[in-house]
Amino acid sequence: MSRLGKQPIQIPANVEVTCADGILKVKGPKGELTRIVAGDIAIAVDGAVVTVTKTKDNPKSRALWGTYAAHIHNMIKGVTEGFTKILEIEGVGYKADAQGNKVKLAVGFSHPVELIAPEGVQVVTEKGVITVTGIDKEVVGQFAADLHKVKKPEPYKGKGIRYRGEYIIRKQGKKGAA
Domain that holds residue 133: 83-163
Q: Does 107 fall in a domain?
A: yes
- Whole-prediction pTM: 0.89
Q: Does 172 fall in a domain?
A: no
Residues 14 and 76 occupy one common structural domain: yes
CA distances (Å), origin 72, targets 4, 48, 62, 159: 11, 13, 16, 37
Number of structural domains (the chain) is: 2
**pLDDT, tens digit (0-9, with 9 covering 90-100), for 11-35:** 999 999 999 988 999 999 999 999 9
Reported in sequence order, the residue ranges of the chain that DSSP labels E, i.e. its strands, are 9-10, 16-20, 23-28, 31-36, 41-46, 49-54, 83-90, 95-99, 102-106, 113-116, 121-126, 129-134, 160-163
Residues 65 and 88 occupy one common structural domain: no
| pLDDT reading at 60 higher than 80 | yes
Residues 74 and 98 occupy one common structural domain: no
Residues 12 and 67 occupy one common structural domain: yes
Instruction: Please say which residue of 34, 61, 80 terminates a domain.
Output: 80
**pLDDT, tens digit (0-9, with 9 covering 90-100), for 72-124:** 999 999 999 999 999 999 989 999 999 989 999 999 999 999 999 999 999 99
The pLDDT value recorded for residue 70 is 94
Question: Residue 166 — left, alpha, or beta (φ > 0 → left; ψ -120 to 50 → alpha)?
Answer: beta
**pLDDT, tens digit (0-9, with 9 covering 90-100), for 38-57:** 888 999 999 899 999 999 88
Q: Does 170 fall in a domain?
A: no
The residue count of the chain comes to 178
Instruction: Please say which residue of 80, 98, 127 terminates a domain.
Output: 80
CATH number, position 53? 3.90.930.12
Residues 62 and 33 occupy one common structural domain: yes
Residues 32 and 72 occupy one common structural domain: yes
The pLDDT value recorded for residue 4 is 80
Q: Does 177 fall in a domain?
A: no
Residues 99 and 119 occupy one common structural domain: yes
**pLDDT, tens digit (0-9, with 9 covering 90-100), for 114-161:** 999 999 999 999 999 999 999 999 999 999 999 999 999 999 988 999
Instruction: Please say which residue of 59, 80, 101 terminates a domain.
Output: 80
Residues 108 and 70 occupy one common structural domain: no
What percent of the chain stands above pLDDT 90? 75
